[in-house]
Structure 1
Amino acid sequence: MNRSEFSVLIVDDEPNIRSGLQKGLVNEADRIETAADAEQGLATFETGVYQLVIADVRLGGGMDGIELLGRIRHIDPEVAVIVITAHGTVETAVDAMRAGAFDFISKPLDLNLVRQQVRKAREHRELRQENQSLRTRLADAGELSNIIGQCAAMQDVFHQIRQVAATEATVMIQGESGSGKELVARALHDLSDRSGGPFVAVNLGAMPETLLESELFGHEKGSFSGASRQKPGCFEQATGGTLFLDEVTEMSAKSQVDLLRVLESRRFTRVGGEKLLETDVRVVSATNKSVPELIQDGSFREDLYYRLNVIPIEVPSLRQRRDDIPLLIEHFLQHFCSRHGRPMKQIAPDAMRVLVGAQWPGNVRQLRNLVERLVVTHTGDVIDSNELPTDLQPAMTDRGVKTQPASLSEAVENCEREMISTILAECDFHRENTAKRLGVSVRTLHYKMGRYGLH
């Protein structure tokens, strides 16, 4: 974060206090001016630019420090004011805070405490400026159908979407789990001539093979046990619009043949039916796997790949677009604070550095879930780094260098923690699916999550 100029005005009728504070705070501010009474302080403030005013409550002349505080903040509502007094009472403190004081310090002054509060005021101002800058950047950010990104990689994705959206070409979107592939598919739909039609998404990876044919093509009444009525499939539901096939590489060999036949002929029959139905959909698919490798090992048909991959779009991982992380965090903060009725929260600079540097195996989905959790569980206005999950932060020595595991068991635990965290994020924190992927019971997964603090 770039530190902007920080100027301080000290208003006190005691020369020793003015001089002592000016000397004691020389390393805390870029410029320090003093004034002997409220009138002089107000005149000095009106002719200069100050980010912090330190003012005594009892000042010589017709104006006290509380009145000075109110008049200064009327001129500049953003200025921070620290009120000091030798007559500290609860009533005085309440009056000062009601008038907008940043803090209240009693005499005799503890210079270290004053320095601490001055640093706090400076950090608070810089944090506010950084968040305002983020909001401005967010407002100006390249945004396409709820996809946010300013980095070059995302701008390239936006360019491809705009080029392809108006066509009827099939598109295959590739990228890691949680990177936003469905958002890209929705953007393709929203910007197409089919935007007035339905957008139907089906997750093929979560669909049992026995139900997949019926889900895609529909079924007739009585075609199998439990088929009590005719049901249109996704190809019918998406007529005139877009059909999004997520995790398309999870299809069985038979389902791949069925899908290829429909893509080639634009016709299909419902399960248990005989009538050929025409399909009028634009097909967009997505996968988080390397399709050429799947073709090589024989688990995915090459001819189907060429049908689906007429236009490829690669969505970058969050690690490849770290410059967008502050923008995404600001967007999610605004969204979830509004959604859950919470006051707007801010991310402290040390926490933002951790978030920007984290590995994010679950990509934007993982970041979104974390921000929502922080909004719901954090009671303060500013979220610090010590309130972030420990698995986001690399182990550090006192010198700020990553430490090596102290033992083989620690290395194994670190690897296990990272693997569970990664698979959890990829499965959108669905415990049954995560346990299945890891080859353990749900009970074992629950124990491990508790042990590693992954709840």
Structure 2
Amino acid sequence: MSSEPFAVLIVDDEPNIRSGLAKGLAGEADVVKTAGDADDALDQFTKGSFQLVIADVRLSSSMTGIELLEKIRYLRPSTAVIVITAHGTVETAVEAMRAGAFDFVLKPIDLNLIRQQVRKAREYYQLRVENRQLRTQLAGAGQVSEIIGNGAAMQAVFQQIRQVAATEATVLVQGESGTGKELIARALHDLSDRSRGPFIAVNLGAMPENLLESELFGHEKGSFSGASRQKPGCFEQAAGGTLFLDEVTEMSAKSQVDLLRVLESRVFTRVGGEERIETDVRIVSATNRSVHELIEEGVFREDLFYRLNVIPIEVPPLRARREDIPLLVEHFLEQFCKRHSRDPKQLSPAAMQTLVSSNWPGNVRQLRNMIERLVVTHSGDVIHHDELPAELTRAPSPANKSIVPLAEAVEACERETIAAVLNAYDLHRDKTAKALGISVRTLHYKMSRYNLH
């Protein structure tokens, strides 16, 4: 059970109702606060921690109770909202429940009934907290889902995952190929309240444009040659769960428009169909490319980027988290020895040092594949340095000792150039961006990336 107090915020523009509810619910909650309008309610809500909000539909303020409900659900989806209305039409009740209301009551208020609803909301909240705590305990200190890492870089990623998982916000995972972006998406799903729903992953980069629309939204029987039956798309298959869109920057211009329309309206139709289908999915997308550069080039839509990038998560390359390599090696050795029915194996200190000092352009995927190869082909208990693949042990020629991977050299040059121009213009960003021939937005992004502040 959570140690956090169960706090209720009552929102009504009638003082008598506010005070009456506050007194009547004092025994059902640890903290009871009141607000006379939506603006005051949002101010208290963002500054405090409330597990339940009870709001009147008709408020004499800048927004209705339904609009307040939608804002609360966006800011903190785990908060339950009970809607009160004196206008007990079916339409009002349906609108409230569609907007995510936990329940609704009619005026005049039956205090015993609303107490029962508050108890239900409290039990529901406590169950969610206990489930989340259990999932976090199972995750372990050095691991979230299948992602492994004890270093500072990955611990920061783990912290982001734990903070974001419980929300409905869309997430854009960025990182080089082989860094484990799909594992991040799965961890977000596993630690979320959607974990019992499906996790559907689709690689947009591997999908021909003429098939992508059908893959995402489904199609009706006879809608095109070969459509012999109705087929649900990924948005339907992922209902109640998470849809992972990998290589999202590889979509065509038309596909980007189609996706943006669904993200904005939460409604789609199957190819060849007319039925409007509401979607209930959490979107996590990923890319190994610089989205800001693609936007500058006119290849990727800026408005779609903002829809996908509500929460950005940057996955570091393996060369930036070398301290995690021994932990990963041990994990993969154990995994593949069991899978291939081999006796337990270990690396000699010299072999481990070689792996730690290597650059790993293919990142964790490359390391994983290499360890599996060693497990399958090596017969002894200890894998020595001279038994590692030649590409890892080959000494560089004297002329090549200073060679570094091209990506690292380009990044280092770019960082030095931006820093020099910033200093030349006394950190004036508009002048710096103009001198570099890039937009101020791109400059801000690169300054953040290279810690130039």
Is the structural similarity TM-score above 0.5? Answer: yes
- Name the CA shift for 1:281/1:358 in 2 (closer, same or farther; >3 Å): same
1:387 CA drift (Å): 1.4
SS at 1:319 equivalent: helix
- The aligned counterpart of 1:379 is 379
Q: Is contact 2:173–2:285 with CA below 8 Å preserved after alignment?
A: yes
Match runs of 1:176-255 below 5 Å: 176-255=176-255
1:393 CA drift (Å): 3.1
| Selected match of 2:399 from 404, 423, 428 | 404
Q: Is contact 1:175–1:317 with CA below 8 Å preserved after alignment?
A: yes
Give every structure 1 segment of 4 or more consecutive aligned residues whose post-TM-superposition deviation is greater than 4 Å: none
What is the distance in 2 between the residues matched to 1:227 and 1:217?
14
**Which amino acid is the alignment partner of residue 403 of structure 1?**
P
Q: Is contact 1:395–1:403 with CA below 8 Å preserved after alignment?
A: no
**Which amino acid is the alignment partner of residue 198 of structure 1?**
P
Provide, for residues 104-154 of structure 1, a one-character-per-residue CA deviation record: whole Å limited to 9, x for no partner.
xxxxxxxxxxxxxxxxxxxxxxxxxxxxxxxxxxx9751111111100010
- The aligned counterpart of 1:281 is 281
- The aligned counterpart of 1:317 is 317
TM superposition score normalised by structure 2: 0.57
SS at 1:202 equivalent: strand
Provide, for residues 391-436 of structure 1, a one-character-per-residue CA deviation record: whole Å limited to 9, x for no partner.
123525xxxxx62159xxxx9xx999xxxxxxxxxxxxxxxxxxxx
Across the aligned residues of Structure 1 and Structure 2, the Cα RMSD in angstroms comes to 2.0
What is the distance in 2 between the residues matched to 1:393 and 1:312?
37
SS at 1:219 equivalent: coil
SS at 2:399 equivalent: coil
SS at 2:321 equivalent: helix
1:142 and 2:142 matched? yes
Q: Is contact 1:358–1:393 with CA below 8 Å preserved after alignment?
A: no
Q: Is contact 1:199–1:243 with CA below 8 Å preserved after alignment?
A: yes
- The aligned counterpart of 2:351 is 351
**Which amino acid is the alignment partner of residue 192 of structure 2?**
S
What is the distance in 2 between the residues matched to 1:394 and 1:192?
45
**Which amino acid is the alignment partner of residue 324 of structure 1?**
D
Provide, for residues 245-281 of structure 1, a one-character-per-residue CA deviation record: whole Å limited to 9, x for no partner.
0000000000000000000000000000011100000
1:264 and 2:259 matched? no
- The aligned counterpart of 1:170 is 170
- The aligned counterpart of 1:48 is none
How many residues align? The count is 268
Provide, for residues 218-244 of structure 1, a one-character-per-residue CA deviation record: whole Å limited to 9, x for no partner.
000000000000000000000000000
What is the distance in 2 between the residues matched to 1:405 and 1:390?
17
- The aligned counterpart of 1:329 is 329
1:385 CA drift (Å): 1.3
What is the distance in 1 between the residues matched to 2:212 and 2:385?
45
**Which amino acid is the alignment partner of residue 326 of structure 2?**
P
Provide, for residues 71-122 of structure 1, a one-character-per-residue CA deviation record: whole Å limited to 9, x for no partner.
xxxxxxxxxxxxxxxxxxxxxxxxxxxxxxxxxxxxxxxxxxxxxxxxxxxx
- Please list every run of 5 or more consecutive structure 2 residues that lacks an aligned counterpart in the other structure: 1-138, 407-453
- Please list every run of 5 or more consecutive structure 1 residues that lacks an aligned counterpart in the other structure: 1-138, 397-401, 417-455
**Which amino acid is the alignment partner of residue 149 of structure 1?**
G
- The aligned counterpart of 1:134 is none
- The aligned counterpart of 1:291 is 291
What is the distance in 1 between the residues matched to 2:395 and 2:140?
36
Provide, for residues 133-176 of structure 1, a one-character-per-residue CA deviation record: whole Å limited to 9, x for no partner.
xxxxxx97511111111000100000000100000000000000
1:349 CA drift (Å): 0.9
- The aligned counterpart of 1:153 is 153
**Which amino acid is the alignment partner of residue 256 of structure 1?**
Q
Q: Is contact 2:386–2:393 with CA below 8 Å preserved after alignment?
A: no
Q: Is contact 1:217–1:268 with CA below 8 Å preserved after alignment?
A: yes
What is the distance in 2 between the residues matched to 1:317 and 1:393?
21
What is the distance in 2 between the residues matched to 1:356 and 1:257?
44
TM superposition score normalised by structure 1: 0.57
Q: Is contact 2:204–2:212 with CA below 8 Å preserved after alignment?
A: yes
**Which amino acid is the alignment partner of residue 202 of structure 1?**
V
